[in-house]
Amino acid sequence: MVTTSEDRYKSYMKECVKGDNLKVIITIRTIRSRKKVLDMKLKEEKAGNMIVRVHTDDEKAPTWYVHAITIPFSNLGIEKIKNKRELAEKMNFQTDIPNSDTKAFLKKIVKDYGEIIEDSGNKHMFRTEKFKKQKDQFKVKMKSF
């Protein structure tokens, strides 16, 4: 069975939210269409933190870019998310994080991409301050007619 990069992307994101090794997902930039995902690379940082890089054929996006960052719950010193806002503050100010590698990694994320904000939807999903959802100009033009 041949799996496409779109299938690999879906299965990885599902694995982060469900299963034994739960992770927090911090979205940096959206993918307009999952069908345009040509390739996906997972770059492992120290302590099991992962950077999800995506290759697309979208003209309005760079060919390779950082889509998301995943951090295991164990690195943050928690088992479950009780309050999303408190967890976002914990990641922004790096308070009570037992893993020093994760603490340094979060400082780098906040410095490069801005503050980490809770995202609507799944309780594992967060986004950065610089995150901007891309609008499809064709749909905007259709509404104006």
Is it the case that residue 6 has pLDDT exceeding 70?
yes
CA distance 44 to 23: 14
Q: Distance between CA atoms of 135 and 145, rounded to whole angstroms?
A: 17
Strand 23-27 to strand 125-128: parallel, antiparallel, or no bridges (unpaired)?
parallel
State the average pLDDT over residues 2-27.
Answer: 80
What value does the mean pLDDT take over residues 78-106?
87
Least Cα distance to 126 among 74, 68, 72 occurs for 68
Binned at pLDDT 50, 70 and 90, residue 1 comes out as very low
Residue 26 has pLDDT above 80, yes or no: yes
Q: What is the pTM of this model?
A: 0.79
Mean pLDDT estimate for the chain = 81
- Split at pLDDT 50, 70, 90, the class of 18 is confident
User: What was the pLDDT predicted at 46?
Assistant: 87
Question: Cα separation of 109 and 8, whole Å?
Answer: 25
Question: Per-residue confidence at 105, pLDDT binned at 50, 70, 90?
Answer: very high
pLDDT tens digits along 42-87: 899 888 899 988 888 877 777 888 888 999 988 888 877 788 888 8
26 contacts 127 by C-beta, under 8 angstroms: yes
| Gap between the Cα atoms of 47 and 40, Å rounded | 21
* Of 28 and 51, the one with more pLDDT: 51
CB 49 within 8 A of CB 71: yes
